[in-house]
A and B are shown apart, each in its own frame.
Chain A
Amino acid sequence: MTSMLREIWIFFRRDLYIALTYRTAFLFEAIEALFGVAMLFYVARFVESPQLHHSLPHGETYFSFSLIGFVFLDYLNAAMDSFDRSLMEARDSGTLEHLLVTQTSLPVILAGSAIYPFVASTVRIAVYLSWGAVLFGFPLGEANWAAVLLVLIATLLAFSGLGILSASYLLLFKRGNPAKWFFLGLSSLVGGMLFPISVLPDWLQLVARLNPVTYALDAMRAALLVGDGFHTVWRPLVVLLLFAAILLPISVAVFARSLRRTKMTGTLMHR
């Protein structure tokens, strides 16, 4: 276990060192976040009404509601994108073969390659929320940070499985991320990111209830805006962890089989 964590840390350090060679990118990302938050703020100001206010689940402003949905989408994107993006970069730079001839196991290579994007995405969430709080009155004072962290970790575990499935697809078919297209598309519509699911037709609300993103977002909003603790967020946490428990072993097995297949067909480095 210690050795595995050490190896994952090695990957994180590698990606951090690479990221630090692009120092201005951090600045531009922070500015980009500011524009994103400002846009949401003015959209909210435009659509805000007492009726809208009352229809939101925790009685929050539309700005708070949409900002959390927006940053959560970014997080979901990182969870589902990191694996296949790392794989594609490794393949294109020629490092993939050299990683695979080391003594490090495949699950560690996978987890290690994804850890930096996850951490970077968490930092990005903090930047978005900080801009929101400092400039536009996003209420951070009520947040229960332990519960927020739990929800983020559970979300990460739950959706990493889909990310690994996408990486398996990339190994076999070389381009494309259908799991991401489908799931992010679906979640943008029925996940309750920018509007409450109560505005959807009944049958779509049913789909929303089957989507773990809905639970994750609900828990995130409860923890961030109302300061709800474990006693409230445990239910969505269980749903997310159940999703992870089913999907992660399946996705790692599918990835191992896809890798074996590419080793059979000799297409590991094909683009």
Chain B
Amino acid sequence: MPEAAIAVVSLEKSFPPARSGWRALLQPFEKPTVMALAGISLEVRPGEALALLGANGAGKSTLLRILATLVLPTKGRAHIAGHDAVRDPGAVRRQLGYHAGSDSGFYARLTCRENLRFFGSLNQISGAAAARRISQLAAQFHLEESLDRQVRTLSSGTVQRLSLARALLHQPRVLLLDEPTRSLDAIGAAEFRHFLKSEVLGRDETTLLFASHALSEIELLADRIAVLDAGRLLACGSLADLKHRTGTASLEGAFLRLTGRSAHMAVGDFSQ
């Protein structure tokens, strides 16, 4: 059996409570009492796309950020391609591409090419290899015409595609996306999803773990869905599996039933 691309074992994360005023000064040293993840375990197979579905505060972003080595867990283990995110963050970073939909994280006055070259160099791709890879990704992500334009002049949709290109620049085995279409309009989001489906998934054995609130996005992209609520993993399975398990006809219905939200909210599943 191949090694899991992502393995999370009994993962817990607590944050210190938010403070304001003069007490904010003490926040870095406060005891972590606000639980964000309460002992989550899951595995993602190589080449698989797993969606994290949950309400705000369910722990999706925290899980992704732990895997991206940006947040340290309180307890438990998180592995990417067999490397421990806490003990060996450098090896983990070699394996992953990370993209958060909430911010672009580019140098606005540099061109797309300059930005990609910069981040590529920091991921040990430079010179001719970087130029080749940038051209390849630009063609794949329909960025050729934007390559020599400053990032500040681009539309949100183009910046999102650029961000995905950056995440894939060093050909990572694992791609982590945190609400990748959050800042896009409906058309931009739809294009981005189809683009992700046709150009990224199924190519190069890339494993995808992504968080989203958009149910259509999850249905289109995910092989399996992990439903989180208040830091707990409620269920993990294919769409058919979740619907079957909850006796509902849609992902929305399954999600609401699993999380114990009021039944009348799921039109089509519960209203009849």
Contacts and interface: CB of A to CB of B under 8 A. Distances in A.
A266 interface: yes
A249 to B, nearest CB: 20
Interface stretch (A14-22, A32-40, A128-136, A206-214): A14-22
A101 B72 contact: no
B121 A10 contact: yes
B15 A103 contact: no
A262 interface: yes
A250 interface: no
B166 A98 contact: yes
A49 interface: no
Interface in A73-105: 93-105
B118 A267 contact: no
A265 B16 contact: yes
Contacts of B243: none
A260 B106 CA distance: 24
A268 B70 contact: yes
Interface in B65-83: 65, 68-72
Contacts of A262: 28
A3 to B, nearest CB: 8
B104 interface: yes
B257 interface: no
Nearest to A261: B28
A261 B72 CA distance: 9
Contact of B71 (A17, A94, A266): A266
A98 B68 CA distance: 10
B58 to A, nearest CB: 15
Given A17-B114, A103-B124, A266-B65, A97 B72 contact: no
A142 B104 CA distance: 52
Contact of A264 (B32, B90, B96): B32
B107 to A, nearest CB: 6
Interface in A93-120: 93-105
A263 interface: yes
Nearest to A263: B72
Contacts of A261: 28
Contacts of B93: 101-103
B103 A102 contact: no
B171 to A, nearest CB: 13
A150 interface: no
Interface string B213-231: 0000000000000000000
B201 to A, nearest CB: 21
Contacts of A94: 103-106
B109 interface: yes
A178 B105 CA distance: 28
A105 B103 CA distance: 23
B123 interface: yes
Contacts of B32: 264-265
- Interface bin, chain A: 20 to 34
Interface in A130-189: 172-173
Contacts of A60: none
Nearest to A3: B124
A65 to B, nearest CB: 39
Contacts of A100: 69-70
B110 A102 contact: no
A266 B118 contact: no
A108 to B, nearest CB: 9
A255 to B, nearest CB: 14
A113 B108 CA distance: 17
Interface string B6-41: 000000010110000000010110101000100000
B44 interface: no
B150 interface: yes
A68 to B, nearest CB: 34
Nearest to B62: A266
Contacts of A22: 109
Given A7-B122, A102-B119, A103-B123, A97 B70 contact: yes
A236 to B, nearest CB: 37
B98 interface: yes
B94 interface: yes
Interface of B: 13, 15-16, 25, 27-28, 30, 32, 36, 62, 65, 68-72, 90, 93-94, 96, 98, 100, 103-110, 114, 118-119, 121-124, 126, 150, 166, 170
Given A100-B69, A101-B69, 15 more contacts: A10-B121, A14-B118, A94-B105, A97-B70, A98-B105, A101-B96, A103-B93, A103-B94, A104-B122, A173-B25, A173-B28, A263-B71, A265-B15, A266-B13, A266-B36
Closest 3 pairs between A and B when the two form their complex, measured CB to CB = A94-B103, A102-B122, A94-B105
9 contacts: A7-B122, A10-B118, A10-B126, A22-B109, A97-B68, A97-B98, A101-B93, A263-B69, A265-B32
Interface of A: 6-7, 10, 13-14, 17-18, 21-22, 93-105, 172-173, 260-268
